[in-house]
Chains A and B, each alone.
Chain A
Amino acid sequence: SAVISQKPSRDICQRGTSLTIQCQVDSQVTMMFWYRQQPGQSLTLIATANQGSEATYESGFVIDKFPISRPNLTFSTLTVSNMSPEDSSIYLCSVVLYSINTEAFFGQGTRLTVV
Chain B
Amino acid sequence: AQRVTQPEKLLSVFKGAPVELKCNYSYSGSPELFWYVQYSRQRLQLLLRHISRESIKGFTADLNKGETSFHLKKPFAQEEDSAMYYCALKGTGANNLFFGTGTRLTVIP
Residues of A within 8 A of B8 (CB): none
Q: Which of A83-112 contact B (CB under 8 A)?
A: 92, 94, 96, 101-109
Docked-complex contact A101 and B44, CB < 8 angstroms: no
Docked-complex contact B43 and A106, CB < 8 angstroms: yes
Residues of B within 8 A of A115 (CB): none
Q: Interface size of B by Cβ–Cβ distance < 8 Å? A: 23
How many residue-residue contacts, CB under 8 A, span A and B?
46
User: At the interface, yes or no: B79 with Cβ under 8 Å from chain A?
Assistant: no
Q: How far is the CB of A56 from chain B (nearest CB, A)?
A: 9
Q: How far is the CB of A54 from chain B (nearest CB, A)?
A: 16
Binding site for B on A (CB under 8 A): 31, 33, 40-43, 45, 48, 92, 94, 96, 101-109
- A and B contact pairs by CB, cutoff 8 A, 7 listed: A31-B95, A33-B96, A42-B102, A43-B86, A43-B99, A45-B96, A101-B49
